[in-house]
Amino acid sequence: MYDFLIVGAGFSGCVLAERIASRLNKRVLLIDSRNHIGGNAFDYYNEHGILVHAYGPHIFHTNSKKVFDYLSRFTEWRHYEHRVLANVDGCNVPIPINLDTLNKLYGMRMSSREAEAFLESVRVPVETVSNSEEAVISKVGRELYETFFKHYTKKQWDLWPSELDPGVCGRIPVRTNRDGRYFMDRYQAMPKNGYTEMFKKMVLHPNIHLMLQADFQSVKQLVPHQFLIYTGRIDAYFGYKFGKLPYRSLRFVFDTIDREYVQETGTVNYPNTFDFTRITEFKHLTGQVHRKTTIVYEYPSSDGSPYYPIPSKDSAQLYAKYKAEAEKLSGVWFTGRLGSYRYYNMDQVVGQALTLFETTIPHATVKEGIGAYD
Ligand code: FAD
Ligand code: UDP
């Protein structure tokens, strides 16, 4: 008999397993249908000995001291600030758009103040921003929108920016200084020995029993448990009874080249050319020294694993139906990117899991008479 069955050994499942096992002293069965822990943040050394991310590049960044301190119990860090270039007409320019992007693109030598005035002159005033197209044109106007966002977004989501919530493209800032970092967060770092090593430390506790290649459907009847934490797809849990929540998938194509480096920065985006969206070279992210290098191409696709919940009005309505069903259950919690159908970053799912642990779970265990929170 387990106190908790946790479905999914990604960030969400590992954080909750660790908290419940170590702080509540409860017995946890942590399962995953894959043959590894770490969820989409899983990394491994490939056949050339290069550390790669199996499900696309994962760069850790957060403004939350709480999240950073929590994860720091399980890993040391390597400071890393991600930089991205966009390949436009064969020329690489910084993305997010900044002063250097504008000057390179237009062959000018504007100052920050002139760039501000330029953007002011091209931006399209929008009273209430209601989609991703408006989020971008209200900041940089139509031409820059079309160069950097319109076609990349269509490739990535198979939707136009006008069909997506403002936050999708709106999460990419616009700058008039020369800051070329992709993220502005206070903490920007990669786990020194990789994500998988960090996850191994999180789940190394006598109260945690790990079962891989185990799907919820086949385990749920066999393993008695009092509580359930579900970090898989919420629509799958309910047998898709209201219809499938839409997801965007990716196909990852890896290539190892007999050269130390092949591109000048971690990621190069291809907004208007090719079927892939971006190429990432892992050694920039990990700092690994190796005479060869591995890159990954990301090809968006409608079939495959559910990587990206689609932030749109229609999908939010459908999700609300599943959420209402979930709220009728007792002793079952849905969390994480799939469980809450949110386009969350890693730090956000860690924050969400910690909050769930602090606010809800101990009280439930006390209510059910299986123990108190120390
Ligand atoms: P997941 O990592 O998806 O883990 C859920 C686990 O549940 C999976 O391992 C799955 O196998 C398992 N599961 C599902 N259903 C079942 C079932 N029925 N039975 C058993 N097991 C089941 N975030 C960042 O902060 N920075 C980045 O740079 C970044 N890059 C990304 C790039 C890509 C291509 C993608 C797809 C995501 C990226 N993310 C990034 C987001 C990040 O991957 C997620 O925020 C995070 O991994 C979510 O963790 P999770 O535990 O909620 O879900
Ligand atoms: N985006 C874009 N052009 C870019 C970079 C991003 O249009 O050069 C849009 C696109 O819709 C993308 C979203 O902004 O899906 C968020 O980009 P981010 O790099 O954060 O995506 P993720 O890393 O989550 O795939």
State in Å: Cα 81 to ligand 2 middle: 17
238 lines ligand 1 (CB under 6 A): no
Cα distance between residue 107 and residue 289, in whole Å: 36
Cα distance between residue 177 and residue 180, in whole Å: 9
For residue 210, what are the CA distances in angstroms to 53, 233, 339? 22, 20, 20
249 lines ligand 1 (CB under 6 A): no
State in Å: Cα 222 to ligand 2 middle: 42
- The full length of the chain comes to 374
Residues of each domain in the chain carrying CATH 3.40.50.720: 2-37+203-245+310-368
The ligand placed nearest to the CA atom of residue 169 is: 2
Ligand 1 atom with least separation from CA of 308? 36
CA nearest to 349, candidates 195, 237, 217? 195
Name the residue of 58, 82, 248, 350 whose CB sits within 8 Å of the most ligand 1 atoms, as the mutation to test its pocket: 58
Q: Tens of pLDDT along 74-119?
A: 999 999 999 999 999 999 999 999 999 999 999 999 999 999 999 9
- Nearest protein CA to atom 7 of ligand 2, as residue: 149
pLDDT tens by residue, the chain, 374 residues? 899 999 999 999 999 999 999 999 999 999 999 999 999 999 999 999 999 999 999 999 999 999 999 999 999 999 999 999 999 999 999 999 999 999 999 999 999 999 999 999 999 999 999 999 999 999 999 999 999 999 999 999 999 999 999 999 999 999 999 999 999 999 999 999 999 999 999 999 999 999 999 999 999 989 999 999 999 999 999 999 999 999 999 999 999 999 999 999 999 999 999 999 999 999 999 999 999 999 999 999 999 999 999 999 999 999 999 999 999 999 999 999 999 999 999 999 999 999 999 999 877 887 766 654 44
141's torsion region: left (phi>0), alpha (psi -120 to 50) or beta? Answer: left
Cα distance between residue 276 and residue 232, in whole Å: 27
64 lines ligand 1 (CB under 6 A): no
Cα distance between residue 291 and residue 210, in whole Å: 36
One-letter amino acid for residue 352 of the chain: Q
CB 270 within 8 A of CB 151: no
- Nearest protein CA to atom 8 of ligand 1, as residue: 39
pTM listed for this prediction: 0.97
State in Å: Cα 157 to ligand 2 middle: 10
Matching residue, tokens 């946890």:
28
Domain 2-37+203-245+310-368: state its class.
Answer: alpha beta
Ligand 2 atom with least separation from CA of 269? 8
Q: Pairing state of beta strands 91-95 and 278-281?
A: unpaired
In this predicted structure, what is the pLDDT of residue 369?
65
In this predicted structure, what is the pLDDT of residue 195?
99
At a CB cut-off of 8 Å and minimum separation 6, what does 137 contact? 123, 124, 126, 145
State in Å: Cα 96 to ligand 2 middle: 10
In this predicted structure, what is the pLDDT of residue 226?
95
3-state DSSP assignment of residue 53: strand
107's torsion region: left (phi>0), alpha (psi -120 to 50) or beta? Answer: left
Cα distance between residue 332 and residue 324, in whole Å: 13
In this predicted structure, what is the pLDDT of residue 181?
98
Return the DSSP state at 77.
E
